[in-house]
């Protein structure tokens, strides 16, 4: 990266609005994979475990994130999952070979336990149905079990399991990554579109209040992308409210400037899927708008080599346990900014995942829990990124890498919380050697005052948090880093930093 010669600038106009942030943009994901469930959110016998076996130390970390929705139970896992195995007395449940991740699933934690956990975590469920080995009948039966009040075999079965009140699960995923050859029961776009449409139809006949997410492409690298979206929506457009996007980024090549630019791919992914949705809308002469659910996103690569060495058929082995460093947190910050910039269409998103498995929270079995570096940008966005996203009028010096040109050193977006009388600017400085000046023009708001400038930086891009050093990388409150001149502010963004600049209006 060459040295930047000029400051970056941002003009924030109150009336130039992208759209309202749906709180579900800050969702997450719990799959029956690795130690996400067993040893993660559920560990009977742990010193912090409550009467149901839920780790209360993990619950507190989750509640601090203010997670509004959690996708469950998968993921690749769901395409071989029989939901009936996960309900009723735990001692009667069946152990199964779990083919997606080559483990043994004991089913001692299931649907009802997850709903209890959601209530304790102050969150809601995004439930996925199996459209790999199963189909419309099993999907509608699951909705009946979970959501119908009483008076039928399945709703009364739930009551007999100790849940008189229905769970009232509102949001449902129609399968998972059905375009992927790694998926149990993978399908062509036409095959999936038909089964998704028929499943959606009967699920909504059981409960007309639910909303549904169709499977989009597993990534921009899939050979069928974006034709997959067009074909699937051709079948499902009038039955679903959302289509999903999944994307993970890695730094296997140890090329940090390119790694930090990966969110530009996310920008293009969102633009393409939005355009495809709107093409099908026009084709069908529909008045309905299908929005986006980015229900898997994160950085994922650190654990790949360790996972290849795991012995199969264990219960809850340590799979996908990426230990995240400082530069990973910067990429996560850029990804959050990308989704906020299209908050008019990206209405839900799930950081994959929540605990232990490519996660912001890590635990030891029987021991400690701590925050990974990526916890902090996720926390800040969830807590301070509620309200209306404003059009990001940003000027920044740029750099080029092999895969991307005109990469802005400063990636930024502003969110106006009118009810709280606050405005928050999220900004990443991608420059690896220089502090950058960042001029923020707030004249359209009249008088404003600085609340705080939170900064997360590290001289070591590989620095990570561990059980022994849980606070090695964490944000600090920067004093004197923002100068004010009437309605204009000038901030200093340290090299390779995540920044949260909050104003009182």
CB neighbour list of residue 66: distance below 8 Å, 6 or more residues apart: 26, 122, 382, 383
Tokens representing 51 are 């009467």
DSSP sequence for 58-80: HHHHHHHHT--EEEES-SGGGGG
Reply yes or no on whether 43 is catalytic. Answer: no
Residue 467: beta bridge partners? none
How far apart CA 316 and CA 104 sit, in angstroms, is: 8
- Identified catalytic residue from 113, 198, 296, 457: 296
> Token match 């475990």: residue?
49
Of 192, 245, 184, 189, the closest CA to residue 216 belongs to 245
Task: Give me the sign of the Cα torsion angle 105, 174, 301, 466.
Answer: negative
The neighbour count for residue 486, using CB atoms within 10 Å, is 9
Of 381, 383, 394, 457, the closest CA to residue 426 belongs to 381
How far apart CA 414 and CA 442 sit, in angstroms, is: 11
> Token match 């069946």: residue?
94
Rounded (5°) CA angle 229-232-238: 110
Reply yes or no on whether 177 is catalytic. Answer: yes
Torsion of CA 293, 356, 320, 372, to 10 degrees: 80
How far apart CA 504 and CA 353 sit, in angstroms, is: 33
- Identified catalytic residue from 31, 113, 177, 241: 177
Strands 69-72 and 346-351: unpaired
Residues acting as catalytic residues: 177, 296
């Amino acid at each position: 990266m060459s040295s930047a010669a000029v400051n970056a600038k941002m003009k924030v106009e109150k009336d130039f609005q992208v759209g309202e942030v749906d709180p579900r943009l800050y969702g997450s994901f719990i799959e029956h994979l690795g130690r996400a469930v067993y040893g993660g959110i559920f560990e009977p016998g742990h010193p912090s475990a409550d009467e149901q076996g839920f780790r209360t130390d993990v619950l507190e970390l989750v509640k601090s994130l203010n997670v509004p929705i959690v996708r469950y139970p998968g993921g690749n896992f769901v395409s071989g999952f029989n939901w009936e195995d996960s309900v009723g007395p735990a001692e009667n449940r069946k152990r199964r070979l779990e083919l997606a991740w080559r483990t043994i699933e004991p089913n001692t934690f299931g649907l009802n336990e997850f709903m209890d956990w959601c209530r304790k975590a102050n969150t809601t469920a995004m439930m996925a149905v199996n459209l790999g080995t199963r189909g419309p009948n099993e999907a509608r039966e699951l909705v009946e079990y979970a959501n119908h009040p009483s008076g039928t075999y399945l709703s009364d079965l739930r009551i007999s399991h100790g849940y008189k009140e229905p769970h009232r699960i509102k949001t449902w995923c129609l399968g998972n990554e059905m375009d992927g050859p790694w998926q149990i029961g993978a399908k062509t776009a036409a095959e999936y579109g038909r089964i998704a449409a028929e499943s959606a139809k009967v699920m909504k006949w059981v409960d007309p209040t639910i909303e549904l997410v169709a499977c989009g492409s597993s990534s921009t690298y899939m050979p069928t992308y974006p034709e997959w979206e067009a074909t699937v929506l051709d079948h499902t457009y009038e039955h679903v409210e959302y289509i999903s996007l999944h994307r993970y980024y890695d730094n296997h090549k140890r090329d940090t400037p390119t790694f930090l630019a990966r969110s530009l791919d996310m920008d293009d992914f969102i633009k393409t899927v939005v355009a495809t949705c709107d093409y099908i809308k026009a084709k069908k002469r529909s008045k309905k708008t299908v929005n986006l659910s980015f229900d898997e996103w994160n950085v994922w690569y650190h654990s790949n080599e360790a996972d290849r060495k795991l012995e199969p058929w264990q219960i809850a082995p340590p799979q996908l346990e990426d230990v995240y460093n400082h530069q990973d947190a910067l990429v996560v910050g850029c990804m959050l900014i990308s989704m906020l910039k299209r908050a008019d269409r990206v209405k839900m998103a799930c950081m994959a995942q929540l605990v232990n498995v490519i996660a912001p929270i890590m635990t030891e079995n029987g021991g400690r829990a701590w925050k990974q570096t990526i916890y902090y940008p996720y926390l800040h966005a969830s807590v301070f990124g509620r309200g209306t996203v404003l059009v990001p009028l940003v000027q920044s010096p740029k750099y080029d890498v092999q895969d991307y040109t005109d990469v802005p050193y400063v990636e930024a977006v502003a969110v106006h919380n009118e009810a709280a009388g606050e405005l928050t600017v999220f900004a990443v400085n991608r420059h690896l050697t220089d502090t950058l000046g960042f001029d923020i023009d707030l004249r359209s708001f009249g008088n404003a005052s600085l609340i705080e400038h939170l900064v997360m930086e590290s001289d070591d891009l590989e620095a990570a948090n561990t059980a022994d050093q849980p606070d090695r990388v964490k944000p600090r409150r920067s004093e004197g880093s923002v100068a004010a001149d009437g309605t204009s502010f000038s901030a200093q963004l340290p090299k390779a930093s995540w920044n949260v600049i909050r104003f009182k209006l």
